[in-house]
Amino acid sequence: MHITGWTVALAALGVIPAALTQSRAVAWAWILGVVALALIDAWLAAPPSWVGVRRDAPGSVRLTQSTHATLLVANVGRRRVRGAVRDAWQPSAGASGERHAFALRPGESETFRTALHPTRRGDRHAGPVTVRTVGPLRLAGRQRSFDVPARLRVLPEFASRRHLPSRLVRLREIDGRTAVRLKGAGSEFDSLREYVVGDDVRAIDWRGTARRGEVVVRTYRPERDRRVVIALDSARLSAARVGDAPRLDASIEAALLLAALAAHAGDRVQATAFDRAEQARAASTGSRIVAPLAEALATVEPSLLEPDWPALVRLVESRVSQRSLVVLLTTVDTSAMDSGLIEAVAALQRKHQVLVGSVEDPELGLMVTGRADADALYDAGAASRAMLEREAVATRLRQLGAEVVTALPDDLAPAVCDRYLALKAAGRL
C-alpha cells in the first residue's frame, strides 16, 4: 500500500472546515475521512500481480560509455491498470530515469528504457522491480517488489587503446627494416625474392640463385608465433589506490594494450589474473584477444591476500612449454623481498624472458620533491627511502635478467609495449 500526493493535498483542504468551525473534532473527522477514502482506493486498485514485467539488459558495455536497459511492462489482468514501475539498479550502474508511469488496458504492453552510465568496472546487478498501482481516485494504491534478475557487465575502459596506432607503426617499422636486414636475432626466414639493386649482397641466397638461374635474396621478417604470457597480480598490493583507481586497473590497461599489440604482431597471447588462485584467464584465438580478455578481466577484483608466487610459476609452466615472454604486472616494492617475487622471477627467467611491470605512485614523486618546510623534508626523506628500496628490488630483478618497467598509471601500458617492441626487435622473445 502507498499513498499519493493527492491524499496529502486532500488532507490539507481540511484546514478550511477546521478554520470555519473552529473545531479540532472537525479536523480529525476530515483526516479520518481522507484516510478511509485512501484505504478504499487502495482496496479498489488493481493488484500488482496483474502487471507482468520483462527485463532486458545489454550484455556488456565499456566503462565510460552509456547504454540502456529495457523494461517491458504488460497488463495481464482483467481491468485497466494505472501505476508506475521502478527499474532499480545498483548505484554504480549509474541508472537515471528509473521510474516509469504507465496506464495499460488488459493485454496491452509498453517498453521503457532506463539509461545506464556505469561508473565502475565489474558486474552490475539489477535490483528488484517495484510495481505500484493506483486506485480509481488516485489517492492510494498497492505496491510490491519482486526480483527480476539482470546483469550488466562493465568492461575495462581500455583508455590506452589510443596508444595502439603509434605502436603498430613501430611494429611495421621493425617489420620493414628486417626485410632488408640481415638474418639475425629477432627475425626469421620469410621467403626468397628476386634481387633488386640496393639489396644487401650478403642477403643473396646462392643455393637458390643456382637453382633458379637468377639472383635471389632471402627476406626476413620479425619472429612470429612467439608466446606471450601476461600475469596480473590481483592480490593485496593491487588494491591500493594510485590516483583515482586501484593499481589493478592500470595493470588491466597495460594487459589489454599489450595483448592487442602482440596479437597484431602475430604472437600468441595468454593472460591470467591471480592472487592465491587464478581469478580469470583468457587466450588468443587467431588474432582475437582483446574482447575475450576484457570480458575475463572485467570482474576481477583485488583481494586482500598475499600473492602465491610459486603457484604462479607452476601455472605458467603448465600452460607453456616453449620459451615465452612472461609479463608480470605487479608492484615492485620492498615487500617483494619476502613475498617470493624474486624467487619466482628467477625460476621463470631460467626458461623464459620475464618482464615486470610496476605502477608508480605519482604522489610519491610529489613527496620526493617537497621542500616547503621541515615536515615536507621528512616526507621527502620517507619517499626517497621507499624509492631506494624499490630501486634495490628492481636492480635485483635486473640482475636476474628480467626486464623491469616502472611507470605512472597512465604511462604503464605504453611503457610495457615499448619494452615489448624493443625485446622483439632485439630478438629476445
**Closer residue to another protein (CB): 47 or 401:** 47
Residue 97 C-beta: closest distance to another protein, Å: 13
Query: What distance in Å separates the CA atoms of residue 385 and residue 11, rounded to the nearest whole number?
Result: 70
Near another protein in 321-380, by CB under 8 A: 361, 363-364, 367-368, 371, 373-375, 377-380
**Closer residue to another protein (CB): 129 or 293:** 129
**Closer residue to another protein (CB): 79 or 207:** 79
Look at the alpha carbons of 84, 90, 92, 93 in this order and tell me if their dihedral is positive or negative. negative
**Closer residue to another protein (CB): 236 or 319:** 236
Q: Does 305 bind another protein (CB under 8 A)?
A: no
Near another protein in 50-69, by CB under 8 A: 50-56
Residue 51 C-beta: closest distance to another protein, Å: 7
Residue 256 C-beta: closest distance to another protein, Å: 20
- Crossing angle (nearest 10°) for helices 164-180 and 247-264: 40
Q: Does 388 bind another protein (CB under 8 A)?
A: yes
Query: What distance in Å separates the CA atoms of residue 422 and residue 408, rounded to the nearest whole number?
Result: 20
Look at the alpha carbons of 413, 417, 423, 427 in this order and tell me if their dihedral is positive or negative. positive
Query: What distance in Å separates the CA atoms of residue 194 and residue 206, rounded to the nearest whole number?
Result: 12
Near another protein in 145-164, by CB under 8 A: 145-146, 148
Residue 100 C-beta: closest distance to another protein, Å: 11
Buried b or exposed e, range 221-256, using 16+ CB within 10 angstroms: bbbeebbbbbbbbbbbbbbeebeebbbbbbbbbbbb
Q: Which of 79, 80, 99, 224 binds another protein (CB under 8 A)?
A: 99
Q: Does 94 bind another protein (CB under 8 A)?
A: no
**Helix, strand, coil percentages, rounded to 5, for the chain:** 40, 30, 30
Query: What distance in Å separates the CA atoms of residue 19 and residue 13, rounded to the nearest whole number?
Result: 11
Q: Which of 45, 135, 301, 354 binds another protein (CB under 8 A)?
A: 301
Stretch that binds another protein, among 154-162, 270-278, 301-309, 411-419 (CB under 8 A): 301-309
Query: What distance in Å separates the CA atoms of residue 310 and residue 140, rounded to the nearest whole number?
Result: 64
Near another protein in 14-53, by CB under 8 A: 14-15, 17-24, 26-28, 30-31, 34-35, 47-53
Grid cell digits, residue 234: 590481483
Residue 68 C-beta: closest distance to another protein, Å: 12
User: Which residue is associated with the grid cell 486506485?
Assistant: 135
Near another protein in 164-223, by CB under 8 A: none
Size of the site for another protein (CB under 8 A): 92
